[in-house]
A = this chain, B = another copy of it.
């Protein structure tokens, strides 16, 4: 009882926990009570009469004002405060039946899992929305030139479709991994009681279904001791956020004024009153920072279990869970900012063309063409092109070098040469599966579309199961 606890323990442990429960977990705990009582009655463990009295007392508590902000004297947590009310209204011996074949261990982790699942579902929804936005933006950018870099240096000309399509596939892979990780969260610990279950003939499948879980946790000790329902989603989200941080870093480079490939509209740019040409797309930096903060919190959530005995421990209680849920809000913010940025960014194709020509990134294509068309080898073709670049793209120098090295005339007109050097030609040639030409992108869109469809289907199944469970619980409760 909190009266018995030291002031510091009360202030630093019990009161914060009580507040966490009031704020985040109370509503779900009521559902857990309902589902548990329904099952107890159905299994004949509690009589209809006692159940009715408990139900009526619960309704009365519900109608009363909310629980006070300060933890009441003489209770250890919000559940005890609730139980005390129940006892007051329904009588102690009757009230006690609600807690038959149950302990705070299985009740609490069931509540945490259910709340966390809902929060993660929200993040997944935003990720799916981001995925769709990127796919749409990519498709719209099939003809929008950009430069792609390797090791910080311009390497190939490509399209916004190709660039965003790459990240999109990583994002969707990460999202599917997150949904897979949620399977650990989406299991019901109810019925594990303290850790070994109970001698009462309960039905764990029934409460699991009434609360919308996919199944009970298979082993009762595991149900209380495992970290997976928290640690696996934390890891999966950390990877997504790290990917986002990497994209932000790359986009920051592309958006820097010397590079100038990415353009953002005024409503995402901080300008300088004195320097109209200075346009700082600050949103990208905030995406990086929020990704950094949230991924750090995910890492922390997973690492908290390091060397903690494989037992029931408070590392799976309200304090760490609430910390993680707070990190999810930062993650949501970061995902929304990225969707905003992706939707509004545009590529400066002219600047891409300029860099492409200036740094000769399409000259390799001219060399490859010579190998395909002119019966010379790579070494020769590259020597010819090097001479061409060194001459400052002088076509006469090109023809001279070809003649000298290949001992014949270059069978290309000036237009052929210009065509080979055109960024668009570079792209059109890259029909390889996964390359930037429309033929190459077809499989990218198909892969992304299929992943999005799987994600949508998985989330729909989750939502559908949730709605069905809610209806089933309401109906069963009405019958108590």
Inter-subunit contact B97/A377 (CB<8 Å):
yes
User: A353 to chain B: closest CB distance in Å?
Assistant: 14
Q: Min CB distance, A376 to chain B, in Å?
A: 8
Set of chain B residues within 8 Å of A194, measured between Cβ atoms: 150, 155-156
Q: When A378-B93, A432-B220 are in contact, do A307 and B310 touch as well, CB less than 8 Å?
A: no
Q: Which residue of B lies closest to A96 (CB)?
A: B378
Given known contacts A152-B256, A308-B249, A166 and B267 CB-to-CB distance under 8 angstroms: no
A169 to chain B: closest CB distance in Å? Answer: 5
Q: Which of B4, B312, B378, B447 contacts A100 (CB 8 A)?
A: B378
Number of copies: 4
Question: From residue 331 to 379 of chain A, which have CB atoms closer than 8 A to chain B?
Answer: 333, 336-337, 339-340, 344, 355, 359-361, 363-365, 367-369, 371-372, 377-379
Asked whether, in the complex, the Cβ of B364 is within 8 Å of the Cβ of A274, the reply is yes
Instruction: Name the distance in Å between A386's Cβ and chain B's nearest Cβ.
Output: 5
Instruction: Check if A278 sits within 8 Å of B382, measured CB to CB.
Output: no
A170: interface (CB < 8 Å): yes
How far does the Cβ of A313 sit from chain B's closest Cβ, in whole Å? 6
- A149 and B301 contact, CB distance less than 8 A: no
Known: A202-B432, A267-B4, A435-B196. A12 touches B308 (CB 8 A): no
Q: Which of B197, B278, B293, B430 contacts A300 (CB 8 A)?
A: B293
* A134 shortest CB reach to chain B, Å: 12
Most buried by B among A170, A285, A290, A434: A434
Residue of B nearest to A384 (CB): B274
Complex Cα distance A433/B4, Å?
A: 38
A-B CB proximity, top 8 nearest: A296-B300, A197-B435, A197-B432, A199-B429, A93-B377, A166-B222, A150-B312, A307-B307
Q: Would you list 9 pairs from A and B whose C-beta atoms are within 8 A, ordered by A residue? A: A6-B267, A12-B336, A93-B378, A165-B219, A165-B222, A216-B433, A245-B306, A256-B258, A288-B308
